[in-house]
Amino acid sequence: MRKRVVVTGIGCVNPMGHDVETVWKGLLAGESGVGHTTIFDASSFPTRIAAEVKDWSVRQVGEDPAVWQRCGRHTRFAVGAAKQAIRDSGLDLDQVEPTQFGVYLGSGEGNQDFESFTRIMTAALTPEGLDHAAFAKAGLELLDPVLELEQEPHMPSGHLAALFNAQGPNYNCLTACAASSQAIGEATEIIRRGEATVMLAGGAHSMIHPFGVTGFNLLTALSTRNDAPTRASRPFDRKRDGFVLGEGAAMVVLEEHDQAVRRGAPILGEILGFGSTADAYRITDIHPEGRGAIRCMQMAMQDANCGPESIHYVNAHGTSTTVNDRVETIACKGAFGSLAPKIPISSTKSMMGHLIAAAGVTELIVCLMSIRDGVLPPTTNYEEPDPECDLDYIPNQPRETKCDIALNNSFGFGGQNITLIVGRYSP
């Protein structure tokens, strides 16, 4: 019999707030974390809005800001979310065997050192082109090697391992918007296989910088509703025009069930199912018939040994892009069949924006809170139904209802699909 995997701790830092309870309260109130971009001067960009983390410091979780100041924003967010999750789990790290404690993140690249790079290019560009010798000389003089290292996507997982003395498996994946969900699924499998008894899993990302915004603008993926930031993210609405870029981190503590029970851990839910597929289609487009997404949800339900009749809530990928929302609707119909119209679905990206690599884990925590409280968060800004998106998207108001099993979808550029199923814990 395979090992059961339970969630014993959760934590987050995102545009809606700096801890889970604050974020959850804001989601149920239909609040928005979206505003005009302040991290950099976006006045000349097509998109001038974002969901930024405001007024955050690692001091809030008992860390010295001076120690972390040269790390990327995503690493600082990761530290905040991880310390919350460990505290929430009640783990006494002195009692945890270090080699049985691992870290698996879905974390994005760090912030670029734009100022140094600009100075280097100024020194190296000539009327004839790039002077490679001058570029090398300026780079060696101006670049900070620590800042260069901190741009690597796996730095947060390394920092967290050192912070908590987690000497077990340590991985990072960067499968775009599916990354942190993949991390949770793979961390679950590590525990199921007996390679660790505790895994800190989740994600962290911040792409609110000139390169990040430029890239998504070139892909026409971002909303340009600059005059109404809080109304810009509108999943499944007929007038949706793209997603709102967000940032943040979220973490869950996963434990082998018997160990969690022995130590009297607060069990918040159980990871029941994990599905992973590829569209094998186009790099920037989801398959028009949702073939990968359908199979992913079916795999997760098979892994969880449940059918569509057992799913009480779906937290959709729901990015607010024209194609994604339409195809996810098609995929839900393909996976759930005749029950699709009866299963409540919502996209909390309507309020917190799209946290990219940190999105999936954040939304899994939302599923856990829905199970705990028996209330489903709404899809806000849903004003005009789209005939091609005709399911129950919980428009604009939360809904009190039974929720024992929830399904979370995460789909990434490149055709990566991850589905997680989490359930109410039962001994």
State residue 109's pLDDT score: 82
Could you tell me the two tokens for 276? 């992973």
State residue 140's pLDDT score: 78
C-alpha 353 chain-centroid distance: 10
pLDDT of 146 over the 90 cut:
no
- Could you tell me the CA-to-CA distances from 212 to 16, 205, 221, 348, 379 in Å, in that order? 21, 11, 11, 22, 26
Beta pairing partners, 9: 253
Could you tell me the two tokens for 407? 């399904």
Could you tell me the two tokens for 136? 């090398």
Kindly state the helix (H) or strand (E) to which residue 114 belongs, with its residue range: helix 114-124
pLDDT of 139 over the 80 cut:
no
Could you tell me the two tokens for 146? 């620590």
| 152: confidence class by pLDDT, cuts 50, 70, 90 | confident
pLDDT tens for 172-184 read 999 999 999 999 9
Q: Give rounded-to-5 percent helix, strand, coil for the chain.
A: 40, 20, 35
Q: Residue 2 carries which DSSP code?
A: P
Q: Residue 50 carries which DSSP code?
A: E
CB neighbourhood size of 19 (10 A): 18
- Single pTM value for the model: 0.95
pLDDT tens for 62-80 read 999 999 998 989 999 999 9
Beta pairing partners, 417: 277, 411
pLDDT of 117 over the 70 cut:
no
- Phi and psi torsions of 22, nearest 5°: -65, -45
Beta pairing partners, 172: 105
CA-wise closest residue to 419 among 334, 338, 351:
334
8 Å CB contact between 269 and 405: no
Q: Residue 320 carries which DSSP code?
A: S
pLDDT tens for 123-137 read 878 888 888 888 888
Phi-psi sector, 320: left (phi>0), alpha (psi -120 to 50), beta:
left
State residue 115's pLDDT score: 67
Domain parsing of the chain, residue ranges: 5-111+151-423, 114-150
pLDDT of 265 over the 90 cut:
yes
- The length of the chain, given as a count of residues: 427
DSSP E strand stretches across 156-268: 170-173, 198-206, 247-256
Dist CA 17 CA 397 (whole Å): 20
State residue 112's pLDDT score: 66
Beta pairing partners, 104: 171, 201
Higher pLDDT, 274 or 152: 274
DSSP E strand stretches across 21-169: 35-36, 49-50, 101-107, 125-126, 129-130
Q: Which residues are catalytic?
A: 177, 317, 354
8 Å CB contact between 329 and 248: no
8 Å CB contact between 346 and 397: no
Dist CA 340 CA 119 (whole Å): 55
User: Would you state the torsion angle of the CA atoms of residues 341, 345, 351, 357, taken in this order, to the nearest 10 degrees?
Assistant: -130
Dist CA 93 CA 200 (whole Å): 12
C-alpha 94 chain-centroid distance: 29
pLDDT of 365 over the 70 cut:
yes
User: What is residue 74's three-state secondary structure?
Assistant: helix
- Could you tell me the CA-to-CA distances from 192 to 257, 401, 421 in Å, in that order? 10, 31, 15
- Could you tell me the CA-to-CA distances from 159 to 9, 152, 215, 242, 397 in Å, in that order? 19, 12, 28, 34, 39
For β-strands 198-206 and 375-376, DSSP reports them as unpaired
pLDDT tens for 86-98 read 999 999 999 999 9
CATH (residue range 5-111+151-423): 3.40.47.10
Phi-psi sector, 406: left (phi>0), alpha (psi -120 to 50), beta:
beta
Could you tell me the two tokens for 323? 């194609």
